[in-house]
A and B are shown apart, each in its own frame.
Chain A
């Protein structure tokens, strides 16, 4: 079972950030290694585990990268408790990629594979970035293709768990990005991405709710459309402040054919202190309306062609406050390590739903409060440059 039981449509686990590449125009990324421990606690779900990311140049024109992460999931979320038993699950993900530098152009290719007992995701990606106008402008184009296999674990008392493979989901994404030096203190990043998915896009573990003839809440299977196309555009500014600090702001607009319109706003501040510490604070606000075929409680059984009650398709907003601290050190041994950082980040997220109630199956659909919860997101990681 999935670690969020969210919509099994394409989700992006970023492994390469175009902006990271383009802001260092026509230069391969630094050789570095990161080792992290991450944890999510909220909504009755705990997810934690380690991750590693290693990058190394082979020569002046080729850089290779590999990453691997593990999520151990223990879930007793509101969806699970209302229709099933708490469960444990493991999610793993691995990535390999290569960056090739030729002139002012960086070509990138890679492959990602994610595994759970009931979900397998494979994605290939290509991108090209070009620096121009005296390295003031960098443009980037990318394409990715994903193949997912979606299943449902069946728990039979007294028997081993089996997986019923329900179908495939295919994903195609196109992206374009621009990084622009505006002034000697100001950077602009603009990104656009369009993606389409088709196949089995529903979550087999969730169900819709309707009011039965008896006036009580009953459940029925969800019915999702077989395709989804989404467009997202974002802009990000980063400004160097006179007292050696940085301020950044971002906005993203998202819209898709399921009727979801979403806005994301971000604001961040970075402040070095003393000689070897860097502190960071940020706030992020997100809001979306509901998908056209979403309803918290349908008026009767089979009331429309497409039926969904996934929380990710509901109307909601979330607010996240984050803080980070980074300590720079120069180890005397081993000699090939130039520097390292020890980092701690903590984010507090609060999600409030506008049309999702925690209805008890078999109960009455009145007097139930809207669902909301808070989550703690912690990450500790150590990085080395060599």
Chain B
């Protein structure tokens, strides 16, 4: 029983810290002035939509797997 109480006490402190911290706003760990590299056009996941959409189309009409490309689209209108 004593061991159990010690175990609960040991858990209580970090749990309380975790719960209380949930009430405080998350502070950005990368400040706006530190995002110069991220704002560079070479860091875009999709710099040219007309190019990437064509390649997605090329692959998905030939492969069984599809989706989760971060895209929205429709039926290809082809069979």
Determine the main DSSP class of B at the interface with A. loop
Name B70's contact: one of A177, A254, A256, A288 (CB within 8 Å): A177
9-residue interface stretch from B2-10, B14-22, B61-69: B61-69
Determine if A278 and B42 form an interchain contact, defined as CB atoms under 8 angstroms apart: yes
CB pair B61–A4 under 8 Å, yes or no, is: yes
Q: Is the CB of A114 within 8 A of B77?
A: yes
Determine whether the beta carbon of A191 is less than 8 Å from that of B68. yes
Query: Roughly how many angstroms separate A270 CA and B47 CA in the complex, as a whole number?
Result: 11
Q: Is the interface of A mostly helix, strand, loop or mixed?
A: strand
Instruction: Give the residue name and chain of the A residue nearest to B75 (CB).
Output: A121
B13 interface residue per 8 A CB criterion? no
The proximity string for B residues 51-79 relative to A, scoring 1 for CB distances below 8 Å and 0 otherwise, is 11111111111111111111111111111
B72–A114 CB distance below 8 A:
no
Interface-located stretch among A154-162, A238-246, A362-370:
A238-246
A 259-317 contacts with B by CB, 8 A: 260, 262, 264, 270, 272, 278, 284, 286, 288, 291, 311-313
Q: List, in ascending order, chain B residues with CB within 8 A of A121's CB.
A: 74-77
Which residues of A have CB within 8 Å of B46?
17, 19-20, 23
Q: Among A56-64, A180-188, A210-218, A330-338, which stretch is in contact with chain B?
A: A180-188
Encoded as 1 (CB less than 8 Å from any B CB) or 0, chain A from 1 to 42 comes to: 111111110111111111110010000000000101010100
- Which residues from chain A contact B65 at a C-beta distance below 8 Å? 230, 232, 252, 254, 260, 262, 264, 286, 288
A120 to B63, CA, bound (A): 21
Chain A min CB distance to B51 (Å): 6
Determine whether A144 belongs to the interface, using a CB cutoff of 8 Å to chain B: yes
| Pick from B56, B59, B75: contact of A114, CB under 8 Å | B75
Pick from B27, B59, B77: contact of A91, CB below 8 A: B77
Is A122 an interface residue when CB atoms closer than 8 A count as contact? yes
B63 — which chain A residues lie within 8 A by C-beta? 262, 286, 288, 312, 318
A191 to B56, alpha carbons, bound, how many Å? 15
CB distance A313 to B62 under 8 Å?
Answer: no
A164 to chain B, nearest CB (A): 13
Asked if A205 and B49 make an inter-chain contact with CB atoms under 8 angstroms apart, the answer reads no
Question: A197–B19 Cα gap in the complex (Å)?
Answer: 43
A93 on interface, CB distance cutoff 8 Å: yes
Chain A proximity of B37: nearest CB distance (Å): 4
Given A270-B42, A286-B59, A381-B51, decide whether A150 and B79 contact each other with a Cβ distance below 8 A.
yes
Minimum CB–CB distance for A120 against chain B, Å: 6
- B35's partner among A4, A181, A286 (CB-CB below 8 A) is A181
A142 interface hit (Cβ, 8 Å): yes
CB-CB under 8 A for A313 and B45, given A3-B78, A169-B75, A379-B51: no
Instruction: Report the separation of the CA atoms of residues A173 and B71 in the bound assembly, to the nearest whole angstrom.
Output: 11
| Residues on the B chain within 8 Å of A146, using CB | 74-75
Residues A16 and B76 in contact, CB atoms below 8 Å apart? no
Q: Which are the 4 A-B pairs with shortest beta-carbon distances?
A: A114-B77, A123-B74, A121-B75, A262-B65
Can you list 28 A-B pairs, Cβ within 8 angstroms, ordered by A?
Answer: A10-B75, A11-B66, A11-B76, A14-B52, A15-B71, A15-B74, A16-B72, A19-B45, A36-B50, A114-B77, A123-B73, A133-B26, A175-B68, A175-B72, A181-B30, A184-B30, A184-B37, A185-B38, A187-B45, A195-B67, A232-B67, A232-B68, A238-B43, A246-B40, A258-B64, A262-B63, A270-B42, A379-B54
Using A18-B71, A123-B75, A343-B51 as known contacts, list a sample of 19 further A-B pairs with CB atoms less than 8 Å apart, ordered by residue number in A. A12-B56, A12-B69, A13-B56, A17-B45, A20-B46, A23-B46, A119-B75, A119-B77, A123-B74, A125-B74, A134-B32, A181-B38, A195-B67, A252-B69, A254-B67, A254-B68, A258-B64, A349-B58, A351-B62
A-to-B contact residues, CB < 8 Å: 1-8, 10-20, 23, 34, 36, 38, 40, 51, 53, 67, 69, 91-93, 95, 108, 110, 112-116, 118-123, 125, 127, 133-136, 140, 142, 144, 146, 148, 150, 169, 171, 173, 175, 177, 179, 181, 183-185, 187, 189, 191-195, 203-205, 230-234, 236, 238, 240, 244-246, 248, 252, 254, 256, 258, 260, 262, 264, 270, 272, 278, 284, 286, 288, 291, 311-313, 318, 324, 343, 345, 347, 349, 351, 377, 379, 381, 383
